[in-house]
């Protein structure tokens, strides 16, 4: 297929829901760490202008350096002395917003920056609030890409994919996890075009159901427009995504039960999700995982661990007694580890079932 490089990004998974507040970024952060624990080289990509995934990985000092918010050399030197750990931000690091700045300025194509190394086998392609300014540029470029003759528009539309592709090669990534914001705007369209598959974190409530009803038809429209109208006309010199965006399934993020929201109400919405997913997201066609297999897992609520994990700057399942996880809390940490390990293994299995020929490296022992 013209413009598609089979030697590019091997597998990329976007985590996306049209409804915010369901724990999408927390899920992305913990899956990135868990897949790394299971032996994969992981690249985490923050394409949400809110940049919460980047903030989860990096300290405030690192963010200030990354976003060029250091006030003076003396201020920078003082912050380095006060920092408990060395900075993860190397001189060659940059954000996705900085990568697309030449397109924004009309001065050239994307600029590549070095992904930030979080630990061995885990890197971050960092976000920035300034990425929101790219929305209008992407929106304007989308219809101008259709004839296949406006190379600037095609380069704009494929910018995220090409940035991710180079970062994945630089880090020798086996798996790319893409965190996107909760909307159906132009930034998310370009982000999801870069994804081989889409995982949907959901809450069992009315808002998640409404989100699925909006999300499904839009994904199918983006996919068909890209694959049928744009991709066949993309010149060979421009690396372009295949635009698969295959729905992998959903993960139920279990909320804290409230006295004003009994279990019966929770079950009411939970039981409706499979049929809405089938009709709205899959369109009753190309059903890779039939029946109730759309649901990959239900994750328990671990809100009591979140403050400890935030203070320790590590995943919930890595908390130790020195981090405040003492007594019965340590058993909770172990259950958290098991839950995320099982979830990561299920996701890897589904990715392999989509196309085992392309993704044999995702077999987890």
Give 194-227 pLDDT, tens digit per residue.
999 999 999 888 888 888 888 899 999 999 999 9
Q: How many helices (H) and strands (E) does the chain have?
A: 15, 8
Question: Is 25 within a domain?
Answer: yes
β-strands 246-253, 116-119 pairing: unpaired
Q: Exposed, middle or buried: residue 171 (CB in 10 Å: 0-12, 13-18, 19+)?
A: buried
Question: Is 160 within a domain?
Answer: yes
**Distance between CA atoms of 83 and 242, rounded to whole angstroms?**
43
Q: How many Cα atoms sit within 13 Å of 190 on the Cβ side?
A: 31
- Contact status, residue 187 vs residue 139, Cβ threshold 8 Å: no
3-class DSSP state of 76: helix
pLDDT at 174: 93
pLDDT at 8: 41
pLDDT at 5: 38
**Distance between CA atoms of 145 and 154, rounded to whole angstroms?**
5
Task: Give 10-residue mean pLDDT values along the chain (365 residues).
Answer: 41 87 89 96 96 93 82 54 59 89 96 94 96 97 94 97 96 96 94 95 86 90 96 94 93 67 72 87 65 80 84 91 86 92 94 69 61
pLDDT at 6: 38
Question: Is 346 within a domain?
Answer: yes
CA-angle at 172, arms to 24 and 128, nearest 5°: 40
Question: Is 1 within a domain?
Answer: no
pLDDT at 330: 87
CA dihedral of residues 85, 87, 88, 94 (deg, nearest 10):
160
- Treating both helix axes as pointing N-terminal to C-terminal, what angle do 134-145 and 186-193 enclose, rounded to 10 degrees? 60
**Distance between CA atoms of 222 and 190, rounded to whole angstroms?**
9
* Domains in the chain, number: 1
CATH number (domain holding residue 335): 3.40.50.300
Question: Is 7 within a domain?
Answer: no
Tokens of 87: 């900075």
- List Cβ neighbours of 95 (8 Å cut-off, separation of 6 or more): 54, 66, 67, 113, 126, 127, 128, 130, 131
β-strands 116-119, 122-125 pairing: antiparallel
pLDDT at 121: 96
Q: What is the pLDDT of residues 58-111, one digit of tens each?
A: 988 888 888 887 655 554 555 555 554 556 677 678 899 999 999 999 999 999
Question: Is 4 within a domain?
Answer: no
- Contact status, residue 254 vs residue 275, Cβ threshold 8 Å: no
Question: Is 5 within a domain?
Answer: no
Residue 282 structural domain: 12-362
Question: Is 325 within a domain?
Answer: yes
């Amino acid at each position: 297929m013209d413009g598609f490089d089979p030697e590019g990004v091997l597998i990329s998974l976007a985590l996306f829901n049209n409804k915010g507040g369901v724990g999408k970024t927390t899920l992305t952060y913990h899956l990135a760490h868990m897949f790394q624990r299971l032996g994969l080289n992981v690249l985490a990509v923050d394409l949400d202008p809110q940049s919460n995934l980047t903030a989860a990985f990096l300290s405030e000092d690192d963010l200030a350096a990354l976003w060029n918010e250091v006030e003076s050399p003396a201020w920078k030197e003082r912050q380095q002395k006060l920092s408990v750990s060395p900075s993860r931000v190397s001189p060659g690091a940059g954000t996705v917003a900085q990568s697309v700045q030449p397109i924004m300025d009309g001065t050239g194509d994307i600029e590549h920056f070095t992904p930030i190394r979080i630990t061995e086998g885990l890197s971050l392609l960092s976000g920035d609030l300034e990425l929101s300014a790219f929305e209008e540029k992407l929106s304007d470029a989308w219809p101008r890409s259709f004839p296949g003759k406006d190379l600037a528009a095609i380069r704009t539309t494929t910018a995220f994919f090409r940035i991710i592709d180079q970062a994945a090669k630089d880090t020798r990534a086996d798996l790319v996890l893409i965190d996107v914001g909760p909307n159906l705007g132009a930034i998310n369209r370009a982000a999801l075009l870069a994804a081989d598959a889409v995982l949907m974190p959901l809450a069992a409530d009315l808002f998640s159901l409404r989100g699925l009803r909006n999300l499904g038809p839009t994904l199918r429209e983006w996919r068909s427009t890209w694959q049928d109208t744009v991709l066949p006309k993309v010149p060979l010199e421009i690396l372009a995504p295949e635009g698969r965006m295959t729905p992998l399934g959903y993960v139920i993020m279990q909320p804290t039960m409230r006295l004003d929201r009994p279990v019966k109400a929770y079950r009411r919405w939970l039981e409706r999700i499979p049929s809405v997913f089938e009709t709205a997201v899959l369109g009753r066609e190309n059903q890779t995982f039939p029946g109730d297999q759309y649901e990959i897992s239900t994750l328990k609520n671990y809100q009591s661990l979140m403050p400890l994990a935030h203070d320790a700057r590590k995943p919930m399942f890595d908390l130790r007694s020195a981090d405040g996880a003492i007594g019965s809390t340590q058993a909770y940490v172990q259950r958290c580890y098991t839950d995320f390990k099982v979830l990561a293994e299920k996701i890897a299995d589904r990715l392999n079932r989509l196309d085992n020929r392309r993704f044999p490296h995702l077999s987890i022992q």
